[in-house]
Structure 1
């Protein structure tokens, strides 16, 4: 993934999540609901946004890598 200079708000992340929900693993969804109940650093919001960005278009290998990183983030916040 390329570096992005934009800062993404929690609302941006929520919108991206809502768009990608049909493509995400079912067991990840409750973790996201918990994620959205808390405040997060700008770096973390940006990272999650970019992991979700174009998730539906990613190859299976890329999705697996993104899932691993998302689980790591979501289970440790």
Structure 2
């Protein structure tokens, strides 16, 4: 099972790659991922926070259909 340490190491790798490119187009992306990393490290229970964020970002078919119906109206 994936825990917050796996997510943290993946975020670190993304940040390293973004900053190794040395171009300005990665600056905002790098800062965004740094803020994600700091948030995970700051939380008391990082696993619960990661589960919460995953549930928020994973599409729910019922909610998706409701949003699309609202969009079409």
Q: TM-score range by the shorter chain?
A: 0.3 to 0.5
The structure whose residues are more often helix, as a share, is 2
TM-score (normalised: structure 2): 0.37
